Amino acid sequence: MSLLARFVLIVLALLSFLSTSALAAEWRDVTEDRLLKAEGDAANWLMYNRTYSGWRHSPLAQVNAGNVKKLVPKWIFAGGTLGDQQMTPIVNDGVMFTTSTSLSLNRVQAVNAATGDLLWKHDRKIPEDVGALVRVIPHNRGVALYKDKVIFGTLDAYLVALDAKTGKQAWETKIADYADGYFMSGAPLVAKGKIVIGIAGPGEMGPRGFIEAFDADTGKSRWRWYSIPAAGEPGSETWPADTWKIGGGAVWHAGTYDPSTNLLYFGTGNPAPWIADMRKGDNLYTMSAVALDLDTGTLKWHFQYLPNDAWDYDTTAEHHVIDVVRNGQTRKAVVQANKLGYVYTLDRVTGQFLSAVPFIKSLNWGGPDPATGKARENAGRRPTMGGPPVEVCPSLLGGTGWQPKVFNPTTGYLYIPANEFCMRYAYVADLAYKRGQLFTGVTAEHFSRAEQAGVLRAFDVNQNKVVWEWSNRTPLISHTLSTAGNLVFQGTAEGRVVAVDAKDGKELWSFNLGTPQSGGIISYAVDGKQYIAVAAGGTLRSQVWFGKEPKWADAARVNYSDIIVVFGLSD
């Protein structure tokens, strides 16, 4: 090796050491108190939904409706993988933590949030024989922070903690056997020293879903709650014979939490297989809102949105913790806009049904009883085994999908990335369970009769109605952000990120990312400067979903790359 080459290596090593040393010197632990007070910590984004309430609203207002046209890219970071990019960046005092995935690895990175410089990278190799669903949709939705640790779930069903200052592994816990089709994709939630996370995979692979809590310091399990009861347990009577053993019920999404009730709120997914005739009954506790005691995991209440789901309308979206006005009275509530095409409001203490209002127009499966919330289906929309396809609206991607909705406490609006499209849906003639293989049994083709299939809608949670909308050609399978600057940011499958006025939906600014926007959009500040970070790329599934619809052909052909683009006001 030449003298010059040695010198370059020494300089690079020194720079790496200085970057890591600077991180170690400046790191501030993410304590329980800081997580409880995250709403007032405007500069940081300390958890997946920013706060326990699930609002994804930033109090920052330096970037606002009056100057948003001056927003320009400040830096771009490439994660280097080609999995589905569904990650939300997490920021603590100028350090951003991101994840990337592929079929072969889970990657976590620490990045300087002001410059985009890589501070450290941790790669975890994934076995080649992971379940069939992982091979179709390898993704990770982000990390959790607690004290000096970065915690994430893996595609081979482990929970892993890293040292936040160096990226070195501190501990790992095996959660489940990936050979059964289990994997971890959701971002963990940390509360009262516990890491709480749901399991991915069961709704498409068969085994029972669950939510589990772990000691945040050691990774040891504290409790586990199954989304499907075993024989003899309450709710097991809603499953025929032994179908509960392979009944699905994944819990894909990060939960929300109300410290005043000490309750966790989660949405559960669809039962397995997707063929409803093979599991006659209500199939509790799939397709439900569930409230669990954080200390013990005890189920305090549940509300089932759709018994015996026939269409993969899994109701795993976040439940926003919001106080709403009903009949002149303020009610402590949780609000969920889900695949069914309705905004549901439930009492968060008791689970009592308060209301359900549609937020899409392409809707023919049926709807909830306005008094009780119990689902009432329209005739002729359920397929039969081996029968012809039926046309059902919305598509199995839902009136809104897994992408989070956001709530602005000033406007009182819930901003919903909604979809106006349908599907031709059929059951196969025969299906048998095979461990580690897809256990769905359907065919589905998506289509839209509307020219603009994606619609961002503002829903007034007190008036219980849509107040404005902004339309997009392709379905909105992308993320949304609300800020105190009277702005709502929305990504699109065509690769745009736009900013609209939070009060009326007027488009104010846009930028072409060059790759589909699919991950989280957040806002944070470093040294008094506000930034908007957009996670994009890796949307292999959009090419599958949109490929047969001519109106969406442009989005299906967009290149995909795993990137973070960070914007700030021009100097």
Q: Which residues face 11 on adjacent strands? A: none
Report the range of poorest mean pLDDT among 41-45, 100-104, 211-215: 100-104
CATH code, residues 34-569: 2.140.10.10
**Distance, CA of 561 to CA of 83 (rounded, Å):** 9
In tens, the pLDDT along 548-561 reads 676 776 666 666 67
Is 148 marked active-site?
no
**Distance, CA of 304 to CA of 290 (rounded, Å):** 9
Give, rounded to a whole angstrom, the gap between the first and last alpha carbons of the chain: 44
In tens, the pLDDT along 476-494 reads 988 999 999 999 999 998 8
* Contact present, 157 and 107 (Cβ < 8 Å): no
8 vs 142 pLDDT, higher one: 142
**Distance, CA of 324 to CA of 181 (rounded, Å):** 39
What is the reported pLDDT for 1? 53
Query: Is it the case that residue 194 has pLDDT exceeding 60?
Result: yes
User: Considering 156, 180, 282, 312, which one is annotated as catalytic?
Assistant: 312
Query: Is it the case that residue 6 has pLDDT exceeding 80?
Result: no
What is the reported pLDDT for 16? 46
Where residue 394 falls among pLDDT bands split at 50, 70, 90? very high
What is the reported pLDDT for 208? 97
Q: Which residues contact 58 (CB under 8 A, 6 or more apart)?
A: 42, 45, 50, 481, 482, 483, 484, 522, 523, 524
**How much of the chain exceeds pLDDT 70, in percent?**
92
Query: Is it the case that residue 61 has pLDDT exceeding 60?
Result: yes
What is the average per-residue pLDDT within 439-457? 92
Nearest partner of 184 among 265, 264, 130, judged by Cα: 130
Nearest partner of 553 among 483, 455, 453, judged by Cα: 453
Average pLDDT of the chain to the nearest whole number: 92
What is the reported pLDDT for 14? 46
Query: Is it the case that residue 9 has pLDDT exceeding 50?
Result: no
* Contact present, 87 and 97 (Cβ < 8 Å): no
In tens, the pLDDT along 400-431 reads 988 999 999 999 999 999 999 999 999 998 89
> What's the pTM value of the predicted model, to 2 decimals?
0.94
Chain centre distance of CA 108: 18
What is the reported pLDDT for 125? 96
DSSP category for residue 385:
B
* Contact present, 172 and 161 (Cβ < 8 Å): yes
Domain ranges of the chain: 34-569
Q: What is the largest CA-CA distance in the chain?
A: 80
Phi/psi of residue 266, nearest 5 degrees: -130, 155
In tens, the pLDDT along 491-509 reads 998 889 999 999 999 999 9
